[in-house]
């Protein structure tokens, strides 16, 4: 199983009939037990990353054997089956998606769903390290908007947070993204005692650059060795209160399909959003499921129940078994997650690292 084997870069000759309409018959949309339409798929194309961010990974990570990882052709096939079942938004994540070999072949191939009108948005979340190389290609493939994870504008602090990253390389990538016409949203994880002195500067800088900004609470996922989640955790209610000391935050109804709730910064004209999995559970409107690079489908980021899509995918050349497995999985989508951080709970709420499920 290799990324280069018979993988198309154009057209629909993926070897995957999007066969949601074969055998199993129905192309009815995916509706979970709570009446929520599931129309947003996030796909982790790799668990590997060229950073080791202190809230995401341990420094000494054990990555998946390549033999367990879906080929790019198989990822295309699963994603296309979801599109045939009503998915309107597709986000590629990791790890770091742009470090996967031949990833642009997959992105160009998935772009056919944008051109056909079957998909509203194809996008990705990246750490920005490879944007200098791929920004123009992303735009040409049909990507219009990207999320870039960036928690500080201070180079030494950036290296401390990412362990292996270089801020100047990410900044060069952001300039390349702007030049390619990509809309950029900055994702900033609020870290107590680490970047909480920079929030005003982040708002100001994003205004200058023409970027939207989203603050995210630390999520209790994966063991972090000596790093304490409680020591990192900063509730966004405190972040919002601090921002209001300098900025006028007007509530708006803007939505991107994700969990962020947005305000408009009157002084900059840019949006600032807040993702609050701990202080305010956002599950009531969840329309998302997550596919790992091994073909495991998680119906909730904060729950361990999952469905194996790799086995039905590889058992048949048509998609009947795959679609049946997808539909069955959606019937098990829970109402919400159970994230909690406190001193009495030493283990992570979810044992897998964020890089395994995808951001």
- Cα–Cα distance, 64 to 164 (Å, whole number): 20
b/e string for 138-159 if b means 16 or more Cβ within 10 A? bbebbbebbbbbbbbbeeebbe
288 annotated as belonging to a binding site for a ligand: yes
Residue 348: band (very low, low, confident or very high) from pLDDT cuts 50, 70, 90: very low
Q: Is there a binding annotation on residue 221?
A: no
pLDDT at residue 343 in the model = 42
Q: Which among 330, 331, 313, 285 is positioned nearest to 79, based on CA atoms?
A: 313
Mean pLDDT of 309-330: 96
Q: Nearest Cα to 210, choosing from 240, 182, 251, 238?
A: 182
Q: Is 125 annotated as a binding residue?
A: yes
178 is in an annotated binding site: no
Residue 14 confidence (pLDDT) above 70: no
Strands (E), 230-347: 249-251, 261-265, 271-275, 288-291, 296-298, 306-308
pLDDT digits (tens, 9 = 90+) for 161-205: 999 899 999 999 999 999 999 999 999 999 999 999 999 999 999
d(CA 94, CA 215): 19
**Record: fold of 40-357:** TIM Barrel (3.20.20)
Domain positions in the chain = 40-357
Do the annotations mark residue 42 as ligand-binding? yes
- pLDDT digits 0-9 by tens, 74-123: 999 999 999 999 999 999 999 999 999 999 999 999 999 999 999 999 99
Helix axes 131-141, 103-116, angle to 10 degrees: 30
- Tell whether 261 is in a known binding site: no
pTM of the model: 0.84
Annotated ligand binding at 149? The verdict is yes
Tell me if 88 is assigned to a ligand binding site: no
Confidence band for 62, pLDDT divided at 50, 70 and 90:
confident
Residue 83 and residue 41: Cα distance in Å, rounded? 9
Q: Is 53 annotated as a binding residue?
A: yes
Give the pLDDT of residue 331.
96
- Is residue 238 marked as binding? no
Q: Is pLDDT larger for residue 154 or for residue 20?
A: 154
293 is in an annotated binding site: no
More confident residue, 344 or 94: 94
From the CB of residue 59, how many other CB atoms can be counted at a distance below 10 Å?
12
311 labelled binding-site residue:
no
């Amino acid at each position: 199983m290799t990324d280069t084997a018979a993988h198309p870069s154009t057209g629909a000759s993926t070897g995957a009939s999007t066969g949601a309409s074969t055998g199993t018959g129905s192309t009815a949309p995916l509706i979970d037990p709570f009446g929520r339409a599931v129309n947003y798929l996030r796909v982790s194309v790799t668990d590997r990353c060229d950073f080791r961010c202190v809230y995401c990974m341990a420094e000494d990570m054990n990555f998946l054997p390549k033999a367990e990882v879906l080929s790019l052709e198989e990822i295309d096939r699963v994603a296309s089956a979801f599109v045939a079942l009503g998915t309107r938004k597709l986000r590629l994540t990791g790890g770091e998606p742009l470090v996967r070999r031949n990833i642009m072949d997959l992105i160009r191939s998935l772009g056919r769903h944008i051109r056909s009108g079957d998909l509203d948005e194809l996008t990705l979340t990246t750490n920005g390290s490879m944007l200098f190389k791929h920004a123009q290609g992303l735009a040409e493939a049909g990507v219009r908007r990207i999320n870039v994870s960036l928690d500080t504008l201070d180079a030494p602090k950036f290296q401390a947070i990412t362990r292996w990253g270089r801020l100047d390389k990410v900044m060069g990538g952001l300039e390349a993204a702007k030049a390619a016409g990509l809309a950029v949203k900055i994702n900033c994880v609020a870290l107590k005692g680490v970047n909480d002195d920079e929030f005003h500067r982040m708002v100001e800088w994003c205004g200058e650059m023409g970027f939207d900004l989203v603050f995210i609470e630390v999520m209790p996922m994966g063991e972090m060795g000596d790093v304490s989640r409680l020591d990192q955790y900063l509730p966004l209610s405190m972040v919002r209160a601090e921002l209001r000391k300098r900025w006028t935050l007007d509530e708006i109804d803007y939505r991107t399909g994700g969990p962020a709730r947005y305000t408009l910064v009157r002084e900059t004209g840019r949006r600032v959003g807040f993702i609050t999995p701990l202080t305010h559970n956002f599950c009531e409107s969840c329309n998302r499921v997550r596919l790992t690079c091994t073909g495991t489908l998680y119906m909730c980021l904060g729950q361990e129940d999952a469905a194996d899509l790799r086995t039905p995918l590889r058992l048949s050349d048509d998609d009947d078994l795959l679609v049946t497995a997808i539909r069955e999985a959606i019937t098990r989508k829970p109402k919400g997650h159970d994230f909690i951080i406190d001193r009495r709970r030493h283990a992570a709420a979810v044992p897998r690292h964020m890089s395994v499920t995808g951001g």
